[in-house]
Structure 1
Amino acid sequence: MSPRRSYDQYCSAARALDAVGDRWTLLIVRELLGGPRRYTDLHADLPGVSTDVLASRLKDMERDGLTTRRRLPPPGAAYVYELTSRGRDLLPVLQALGDWGAAELGERRATDAVRAHWFALPLLRGLEGEGLVEVRLDEGDFHVWLGAEDGAVYGDGPAREEPDVRLSLDTGTCEAVSRGDLTLLDAVREGRVGVVGEGTLAKGLREGSFSPSGV
C-alpha cells in the first residue's frame, strides 16, 4: 500500500482532501451509504473505474478509517465493505456537493450512466421526518430511511418491510427534482409524483404541510 499523499497544509479542508480528495473516493462513499457492498457490486455501480483503482481506493479508505471489510458467514462467504461511523459522517458533505452540483447536471447526455439509487440523495432534500420511503422510477426501485442516525441511508430495490410511503415518478420528473428545477412538493402538487400511504409523512407530502430543508 502506497503512503497517503498529503497537501502538507495545516488546514482542516486540506486534511479532509488528504483523505477523500482522490478521484472515486467520494463516489465509493455514495455507494456504501446504501449499506455493505461486495467488491463486484461496487465495481458494477461505478462504471468507468478500473479494478486496480477501485482496489487501491478501498485499501486507502480502510487505512484512513472510513471503511471496514468483513467476511459474510456461509453460505455467502464473500467479503463486503462498509462505512465506519466516520465514513458515514461524510453524508452531509455529499449532500452539500450534490446541492452545489445540481446546476451542473443539465440534460442527461447520451454517454451518462445512471442507476436508480443515484437519485436517493437528491430526493432526500425534499423529505423530512422519520420513516421508510419506497421510490419507484423507470430505472428501477430503491428505498430511503429518513432520520436514521446510523446504518444505511438507502437501499436498492423495493423495501423489505411495509414502507411509510411509496412514491412513483417518471425519469423526467426525477431529473428535474435532482437539478433543482422542481421541488418534490411542487411535483406532488402538479400530479407528477404518485403518493401512496396514510401515515404522517404521506399526508404531509400530499398536503404540503412540511417545509423540508433545501426545498
Structure 2
Amino acid sequence: MELEELLRDREFDEGKKKLNDAIAIAQREWEHVRYSLELVGDIGEFDKEDFMIGVIEEDVIIREPLLSPTKSVSGYSPTFYPMYFVQNLLAMDKQLAKEGYRTIESLYVFVELATKAGERLGLIGSFAMSFGSGYGSARSGWIAEKGYPLERDLFVKMFFKNRKESHDWDFFWTSVRENLNQIFLKFESWQNDEKLYKKEVKSKAIVKPMLV
C-alpha cells in the first residue's frame, strides 16, 4: 500500500473517531439540558440530524443539515461550519475537569443545544435563538452574538435573579430547573403576545440619536 494511501486511511480513522467522540459528548450534554428543562416539558432524545455535526466522507466533514440555528448568522461565527461544532464539543470536554463550563467552546455548544431544545418546546425563530443564546451565556459566562441581545441579557438577568452570579451551577439543582421554567414561560409569553413583548422587551431598548 502506498504511503499516501496509508496516511489517508489513518486520517479517515482519526476523523471518524473524533466525530464519534463529539457525538457522544453532545448526547451527554443534551441529556443535561433535557433534565434542566424538564419542568417545561420533554425535549426528547438527541438527534444528530438536527445539528451541523456533519458526517465523515474520506477525511472531510461534509454534511450540513438544512435546519440549524447557525444558518442565519455570520459566516465568521465559530459554529457556522459543521466541523466547528465538533471541535467545540471536543475542546469543551478536554477543558471540563479544569475549567468547568466556563469556556468559549461551552458557550457555543450550549447555544446550539438549547436553541434546538427551545424549538422542540415550541419557540420559533429569534425567540428560540435568543433562548439558546441566553442559556449558553448563563452556562459559560461568555456572551454569544446569536439572537437578540436584549432577550439574551434578560434571560441571564432572570436566571441569576436572587442568586449569586456564579456559572458553576448544576443542571440538576431544583432552583436551576425552576428558574429555567420561569424563563421559558416568559419567552413563550413574548412570542405569543406582541404587545407584551413590546412593553417588556422593546421598551428597554436604548435608541441612540442619529448624528448629522
Structure (1 or 2) with the greater strand fraction = 1
Question: What's the TM-score once normalised by structure 1's chain length?
Answer: 0.32
Question: What's the TM-score once normalised by structure 2's chain length?
Answer: 0.33
